Amino acid sequence: MDYLNILGITAATLTTTAFIPQVLRVWRTRSTKDISLTMFSMTFVGIVMWFIYGVMRGDLPLILANAVTMMLAGSIVVAKLRFG
């Protein structure tokens, strides 16, 4: 594995797992009062676009990282809509 792949995998891991603490907190507390729906909606749309880009390029790290991140960011958007 070359350094470029290591860099990509590390970046994907960090940016994907960064959503986990927020997801856990939102679902545990059922509070989304301090979360911006606009920001998370825009982030979610961007992640979907990165996922599509990865699929079109056949780039497995992009596909996997963004598939997981879509679920995490999407769950925050759903929580914001549900819990207000």
More confident residue, 76 or 60: 76
Q: Which residue has the tokens 């998370």?
A: 40
Mean pLDDT of 21-47: 94
Distance (Å, rounded) from C-alpha 32 to C-alpha 2? 41
Distance (Å, rounded) from C-alpha 54 to C-alpha 37? 25
Identity of residue 76: I
Q: Which CATH architecture has domain 3-83?
A: Up-down Bundle (1.20)
Reported as a pLDDT band with limits 50, 70 and 90, residue 60 is confident
Mean pLDDT of 78-84: 91
